[in-house]
Amino acid sequence: MEKQATKIHAALLASPGIGHLVPVLELGKRLVAQLDFQVTIFVVGAEASVLESQLQSFPNPNIFNVVSLPPVDISGLVDPNTSIVTKIIVMMRETIPSLRSEIFSLKLRPTVLIVDLFGTEALPLADEFNMLKYVLIASNAWFLAATIYFPTVDGKEEDEHMLQQKPLMISGCKPVRYEDTLEAFLDKNDELYAEYLRIGLEIPTADGILVNTWEDLEAETLASLRDDKLLGRVTRLPIYTIGPLVREMKSPDLESPVLNWLDKQPAESVIYVSFGSGGTLSAKQIAELAWGLELSKQRFIWVIRPPVENDVTAAYFSVGKESDGTPNYLPEGFLTRNSKLGLVIPDWAPQAEILRHPSVGGILSHCGWNSTTESIVNGVPMVAWPLYAEQKMNATMLTEDIGVAIRSKKLPCERTVERKEIEMLVRGVMVEKEGDKIRSRVKELKSSAEKALSRGGSSYNSLSRVAEDCEKSLQGLVEKAYGA
């Protein structure tokens, strides 16, 4: 084993999808800026244009080395109709040989490997190359708790949750209600069930777990994860709270039509509507959402995609022109009637800049953890509209535990939310007294997050402890290798 260089070299592995890429890039930036690590980020399944657009948000995109791993063809390995999560897991598995080759070819070998949730099968590479190994949970501590606890439950508990629809009781944590549970917990015969159990068992084989949360946000869950009498008996690892990992605002673009429009609106008067990088709605739900926004009489920015029925993921943005250019999946004349109140933007918008703008007073969100933390750090109250994955758990946390959101009485992913209810939700967060209370609470959490990230704050100190623990462990490996 070669003697270690002064600067720790961390290799980070990002799963496919912007939602997975963003927190890995932000973590890489912090490792460089705060800890003076050398960082190499390996990216799976990202198109060059997507990767370039994300790196453009960095003041210095050359602060770390980014390697796009060769694309893999999984068409013969999975059923075309299988879940997107299963496809991501298989892609990550098939990428391991390329990752091994790339690490081997680096002039300065990494001393630390950090993988995200779907990259845990790459952890053995750390042993091959005498590296420390960490898992990044880009979501929250409650999601981590459910993930590592589920493989330990007995058959009776499983059946009570899956078949009898009873809450999943987790030591020292809030139970997971059946209606909020993860898809992997629903069917033992589904391939995702086995994959998720494996991930839950592999996470505790690491040297530590980095979680995209902060101490004040989830104190009770974090205490359980660290208590040997509670979930700590499962984790058996250091838990580092390093969040929130959120994108910083780019330099203001004076030519941006979205930001220029926002500049002309009153303070906190606009609700931003977005379902993340992958969320889609049915044609009927899009129409009801359009009517709900119109009936609310509130200013809005809506990032919209063409409708997708029955969770089909392949869709192109095709517009059927009406007299005013309204897409044929929106109510006729919608754009004309709302031309002064709202903007409809196809596919993508600069979310970080929008949420930070003083004219934005709310967000209707799918509750992905990236969008959730971006909303909190900008003090923006939420209408929770979960669609898939852990978003239902997030929505419950946001509404019932920390009080920064309101939500529909029933899950939008299981039925069509009608226009009158949407009108009520939008007005509730934007102009009613309920919204004032939520706005006050989210601004408290904004201050809490800022304090956690500042020098001497809980997340700042936690990331510093990662460096300290790495240095101690790496020194131990050197001494062992040289017989010191």
Specify the fold of 9-245+455-481: Rossmann fold (3.40.50)
**Residue that has been written with the tokens 């391939």 in this structure:** 191
At 270-287, the pLDDT tens digits run 999 999 887 889 999 999
Structure tokens at 163: 């078949």
At 408-421, the pLDDT tens digits run 877 766 789 999 99
pLDDT at residue 59 in the model: 60
| Strand-by-strand arrangement of the 208-211 sheet | 65-68, 38-43, 9-14, 112-116, 132-137, 208-211, 239-241
Using the predicted structure, report yes or no on whether residue 395 has a pLDDT greater than 60: yes
DSSP codes, 211-278: ESS-TTTSHHHHHHHH-TTTTHHHH-S-EEE-----PPPPPP-TT-HHHHHHHTSPTT-EEEEE-TTT
Cα(204)–Cα(238) distance, integer angstroms: 10
pLDDT at residue 476 in the model: 73
Find the catalytic residue in 9, 36, 79, 116.
Answer: 116
Which CATH superfamily, name and number, covers 257-448? Glycogen Phosphorylase B; (3.40.50.2000)
Using the predicted structure, report yes or no on whether residue 296 has a pLDDT greater than 80: yes
At 451-468, the pLDDT tens digits run 999 999 999 999 999 999
Half-sphere exposure of 139 (CA within 13 A, CB side): 19
Q: Among 44-53, 144-153, 168-177, 187-196, where is mean pLDDT lowest?
A: 44-53
Q: Kindly tell me the burial class for residue 184, based on how many C-beta atoms sit within 10 Å of its own C-beta (0-12, 13-18, 19 or more).
A: buried
Q: Among 166-175, 245-254, 429-438, where is mean pLDDT lowest?
A: 245-254
Q: Higher-confidence residue: 210 or 107?
A: 210
Share of the chain above pLDDT 90, in %: 76
Structure tokens at 20: 């997975």
- Measured CA to CA in angstroms, residue 6 lies from 37, 94, 445, 474 at distances of 10, 33, 38, 11
Amino acid of residue 158: E
- pTM, two decimal places: 0.92
SS3 content of the chain, % helix, strand, coil (to 5): 45, 15, 40
pLDDT at residue 388 in the model: 87
Is-same-fold flag (9-245+455-481; 257-448)? yes
Provide the 3-class DSSP secondary structure of residue 348: coil
Cα(383)–Cα(385) distance, integer angstroms: 6
Provide the 3-class DSSP secondary structure of residue 110: coil
116 is annotated as an active-site residue:
yes
pLDDT at residue 313 in the model: 31
Using the predicted structure, report yes or no on whether residue 481 has a pLDDT greater than 80: no
In 10 A of CB 28, how many CB atoms?
25
Find the catalytic residue in 9, 20, 357, 366.
Answer: 20
Closest CA to 427 of 319, 232, 297: 297
pLDDT at residue 63 in the model: 87
Q: How confident is residue 316, by pLDDT bands cut at 50, 70 and 90? A: very low
- β-strand pairing of 208-211 with 9-14: unpaired
DSSP character at residue 176 = B
Chain-wide mean pLDDT for the chain? 90
pLDDT at residue 164 in the model: 96
Cα(482)–Cα(484) distance, integer angstroms: 6
Domain positions in the chain are 9-245+455-481, 257-448
Cα(205)–Cα(186) distance, integer angstroms: 25
pLDDT at residue 278 in the model: 79
At 85-144, the pLDDT tens digits run 999 999 999 999 999 999 999 999 999 999 999 999 999 999 999 999 999 999 999 999
Q: Higher-confidence residue: 69 or 308?
A: 69
At 349-379, the pLDDT tens digits run 889 999 999 999 999 999 999 999 999 999 9
- Measured CA to CA in angstroms, residue 84 lies from 8, 87, 119, 192, 389 at distances of 35, 5, 15, 10, 10
Structure tokens at 365: 């969100």
Cα(134)–Cα(12) distance, integer angstroms: 9
Helix (H) or strand (E) holding 16: none
Using the predicted structure, report yes or no on whether residue 341 has a pLDDT greater than 80: yes
